[in-house]
Amino acid sequence: MQRVKLFEAAHKGLRNALSQFSFMLGKCDFNSPVDIAKLHGLGKDLFMMLSTHANDENTLILAALEEKVPGSSKHDMDDHERLEYDQDAIEKLLDDIKELNSKGQDALGTGAELYMKFSRFHGEYLLHTVEEETETQRLLWENFTDQELHAMRGKIIGRFTPDAFEKWQSYIMPAITQSDLLMMLGGMKANAPEQFTRLIVMAEKFLPVEEFTAIKENLK
């Protein structure tokens, strides 16, 4: 039986957002108000998700693991601190570009700097997620039951505002397998009908038509 993978869905959503931002950043005309508005909006989504995810890991997942295995959280905590520092610098560059653009000033140089800094950050963040999904996940499996891991996930979800939860789902739903999506929705349908109704509305909004149609058929 497959055990609970505590990081997988969130990381797939983050990889989706990171990749979209990287793609849009590569195509961006840094002197175009339209391009800058789209990039800035996507960037704010991404940075919100990165910050809340790191905080949830630090205060719930890694804190619980540290109690069981002292010293086990240090590597991930140090990664989070380093990545947060880089993230703040990237977000400032994005805000600077928006301000330059609003004043009609040339933002090409700042845009080139942003592109290179984000490219490095993107690669380092992907390596960090792989380490969490292998080494940290292994420690969680060794020290917690699936019931306890489900409870951690529930605490994380319970922290979301409705708007933040929907924002996360807009990146997670298109990025996970249909079988995982069916498992999530099927569980909600059986155990939390109100939550299921909210999620099925989001699924219709965020999934391609053919995929949503297949999901609905399988949930009957």
Find the Cα–Cα–Cα–Cα dihedral 33, 35, 39, 40, rounded to 10°.
Answer: 10
- pLDDT exceeds cutoff 90 at 212: yes
pLDDT band for position 195 (50/70/90)?
Answer: confident
CA–CA distance from 16 to each of 124, 179, 201 (Å)? 15, 18, 20
Q: Which amino acid is at 173?
A: M
CA distance 96 to 114: 10
CA distance 32 to 78: 37
| pLDDT tens digit sequence for 15-35 | 999 999 999 999 999 999 999
| pLDDT tens digit sequence for 124-161 | 999 999 999 999 999 999 999 999 998 999 899 899 99
- pLDDT exceeds cutoff 90 at 186: no
pLDDT score of 1: 65
Question: How many CB atoms are closer than 10 A to CB 82?
Answer: 12
Average pLDDT of the chain is: 95
pLDDT band for position 41 (50/70/90)?
Answer: very high
pLDDT score of 49: 98
- pLDDT exceeds cutoff 80 at 191: no
Report the pLDDT averaged over residues 110-133: 98
- pLDDT exceeds cutoff 90 at 87: yes
Question: How many CB atoms are closer than 10 A to CB 190?
Answer: 9
pLDDT score of 124: 98
pLDDT score of 194: 83
